[in-house]
Amino acid sequence: MPKELIINETYNECRIALLENDEVLELHIDRFKGHNLKNYPLVGNIYQGKVVRVLPGMQSAFVDIGTDRAAFLYIDDAYIPTLEEQREMAEKIREYQAELEAKPGKIIHDEMSTLSETVDLKFRPNVKIQDVLKEGQTILVQVAKEPISTKGPRVTRHITLAGRHIVFMPFIEHVGVSRRIETEEERERLKEVLDSIKQEGKGIIARTVAEGQSYKTLKADYNVLHKSWKDIQKKLTKAKVPSRVHVDLNFLQRTLRDIADDNLDKIIVDNKSTQKQVEKFIQKYVPEMKGKVKLFSEEKPIFDHYGVDLEIERALSDKVFLKSGGSLNIDQTEALVSVDVNTGRFVGKKSLEETIYRTNLEAVKEIAYQLRLRNCGGLIIIDFIDMEKLEHREQVYQTLLDALKKDRSKTKVLPISELGLVEMTRKRTRDTLVRTMCEPCPYCEGTGKIKSVMTVCLEVIREVLKTVAKPGKNKIQVFAHPEVCARITSDEFGIPEYVEETFQKSLTVRADNNYHVEQYEIYSNDY
């Protein structure tokens, strides 16, 4: 199956799509932050920061790193165990995993890449944020999540430097191999190589592209990262507080580093400037991709030509239709992402149970695809149509796990519950596609709904009757949206006549196109 990387760069925006067999596997969009890009806390950047506030109640702290908003630091990311504690915890975890592996039906993750993943909470020393950090303290932190919505960046003290083939960890002693490398022989070979490369007290993880690479290649990658770490340490001796001491690769370079590999057939760009940037990066970091960079020369826009723009439009919609006639309703909120599966027009050919089963199976692949495309993260709830047969539920669950294997972001999925729900999490470091490309509706203020004209009319009438009941209020004026005014003065209500006949007071209703349909104002004879 052909695998292509499509790059579209225009003023203030870079869009990158990974296609396999003409299907969009991944979509990355970066909107340049204009003149503030230099101070923007990109993922991977390292800062010498100052603790400005410690919150014992939340077991977290805020750190000034010199950006617009203070960074958030949680206790799991703030505490760095001593070397002895790390080795003790590692031994306990190995014993614990051996116990679990002896039990049938247990799924054990092979290797994890960060401290919070390698150390189970039951083995972590019971430390509190106030014992680890003090206000005014200077600490070294790295951006783990960029600012999302109204939240500032999230940072960690577990520094990692990512290379082409490996990840270097200066504070954590750990040897790991990417979970995507499944061959046991290759995993063991890489562990032996990494053990011989790493220094005592340091950590190293083999990335997926390290599969099949020689000792010489991995050692060269390690040397580059180790030198970068020494350069950072030198900067710290002269750096102000707060200040940035390390800048990670830019968006285009980082995406090429993480995605470009031997399985990629082409990298297609739409302008010569981007072509030069890509070729320069390829020559230095991914020489095996040399000659695969092509310049797109069609008149039609590149994303339009490859159908990516159409997929983006689908990803911005709350409703996604399935080929069978079923549909997905995807609702992204601040707390979680909910996905509701519906049969829609799909009636099937056999029994109701079979129709439901087929719809859920089709929905699984589209759900995994949409989560990647939209970059949905955090807690995700999938509401499948209820299935009576246990084997159907297990098959749908397994199909979901298989579909998520294409996702480079880490996911954790729980089995389908008795209510037909699947709870899962997906790691997110940047904003979702919807938040990147859209903003809240200024009319409904992002709620997605407004009060009906009838509801507003009844509210106005109640306020008018409350006002006319007061003594001395003989002349009343109502200013509202034209539709509301038309309804109030219609034969259905006839409020002005009712007020005059019942209370012997005058009511004037005035329409104003500038009023929101929910907005109205009532004045008495004080006006």
pLDDT in tens, 198-248: 998 899 999 988 999 999 999 999 999 999 999 999 999 988 999 999 998
Tell me the pLDDT band of 111, cut-offs 50, 70 and 90: very low
Closest-CA residue to 249 (of 101, 407, 45, 106): 45
Helices marked H in 120-271: 129-132, 184-197, 215-236, 251-259
Residues with Cβ within 8 Å of residue 321, at least 6 apart in sequence: 327, 344
First to last CA, the chain: 74
Taking the CA atoms of residue 72, residue 407, residue 371 and residue 15 in that order, the dihedral angle to the nearest 10 degrees is 80
Predicted pLDDT at 99: 73
Predicted pLDDT at 288: 81
Please give the helix or strand (H or E) that residue 457 lies within, else none: helix 453-468
Predicted pLDDT at 35: 43
Predicted pLDDT at 345: 67
How far is Cα 102 from Cα 32, in angstroms, rounded to an integer?
A: 51
How far is Cα 324 from Cα 388, in angstroms, rounded to an integer?
A: 21
Tell me the pLDDT band of 70, cut-offs 50, 70 and 90: very high
The 3-state DSSP class for residue 378 equals: strand
Instruction: Read off φ and ψ for residue 221, nearest 5 degrees.
Output: -65, -45
Predicted pLDDT at 106: 40
What share of residues in the chain are helix, strand, coil (percent, to 5)? Answer: 35, 25, 40
| Residues 303-337 pLDDT 10s | 999 999 999 999 999 999 998 888 999 998 878 99
Listed ranges 129-138, 281-290, 430-439; the one with the highest mean pLDDT: 129-138
Structure tokens at 192: 């032996």
Rg (CA), the chain: 29
Q: Mean pLDDT throughout 395-414?
A: 91
Q: Is the pLDDT of residue 38 over 70?
A: no
Predicted pLDDT at 369: 93
With the C-alpha atoms ordered 74, 80, 85, 87, is the resulting torsion angle positive or negative? Answer: positive
Predicted pLDDT at 363: 94
Q: Is the pLDDT of residue 468 over 50?
A: yes
Q: Mean pLDDT throughout 1-27?
A: 89
Q: Is the pLDDT of residue 36 over 60?
A: no
How far is Cα 351 from Cα 346, in angstroms, rounded to an integer?
A: 12
Work out the percent of the chain whose per-residue pLDDT is above 90: 53
Predicted pLDDT at 527: 47
Tell me the pLDDT band of 37, cut-offs 50, 70 and 90: low
Distance of CA 266 to the CA centre of its chain: 27
With the C-alpha atoms ordered 252, 256, 258, 264, is the resulting torsion angle positive or negative? Answer: positive
Predicted pLDDT at 162: 92
- Of 6-10, 115-119, 259-263, where does mean pLDDT reach its minimum? 115-119
Residues with Cβ within 8 Å of residue 419, at least 6 apart in sequence: 386
Q: Is the pLDDT of residue 32 over 80?
A: no
- pLDDT mean across residues, the chain: 87
Q: Is the pLDDT of residue 104 over 70?
A: no
| Three-class HEC string of 432-453 | CHHHHHCCCCCCCCCCCCCCCH
How far is Cα 422 from Cα 382, in angstroms, rounded to an integer?
A: 5
Q: Is the pLDDT of residue 118 over 60?
A: no
DSSP 491: T
Tell me the pLDDT band of 274, cut-offs 50, 70 and 90: very high
Q: Is the pLDDT of residue 119 over 60?
A: no
Which is higher by pLDDT, 123 or 82? 82
The 3-state DSSP class for residue 63 equals: strand
Tell me the pLDDT band of 116, cut-offs 50, 70 and 90: very low
Q: Is the pLDDT of residue 297 over 80?
A: yes
DSSP 113: S
Pairing, β 293-295 against β 319-321: unpaired
Q: Is the pLDDT of residue 191 over 70?
A: yes
Which is higher by pLDDT, 444 or 370? 370
Tell me the pLDDT band of 1, cut-offs 50, 70 and 90: low
| Residues 496-521 pLDDT 10s | 999 999 999 999 999 999 999 999 99
Q: Mean pLDDT throughout 247-253?
A: 88
Which is higher by pLDDT, 116 or 445? 445
Q: Is the pLDDT of residue 122 over 60?
A: no
- Give 327's strand partners: 321, 342
- Of 104-113, 171-180, 255-264, 421-430, where does mean pLDDT reach its minimum? 104-113
Q: What Cα–Cα distance (Å) separates residue 316 from each residue in 5, 16, 18, 438? A: 22, 17, 18, 8
Tell me the pLDDT band of 349, cut-offs 50, 70 and 90: low
Pairing, β 327-332 against β 319-321: antiparallel
Q: Is the pLDDT of residue 381 over 80?
A: yes
- Of 110-114, 163-167, 353-357, 446-450, where does mean pLDDT reach its minimum? 110-114
Structure tokens at 473: 């209020």
Per-position b or e across 402-416, b if 16+ CB within 10 A of its CB: ebbeebebbbebeeb
Predicted pLDDT at 328: 94
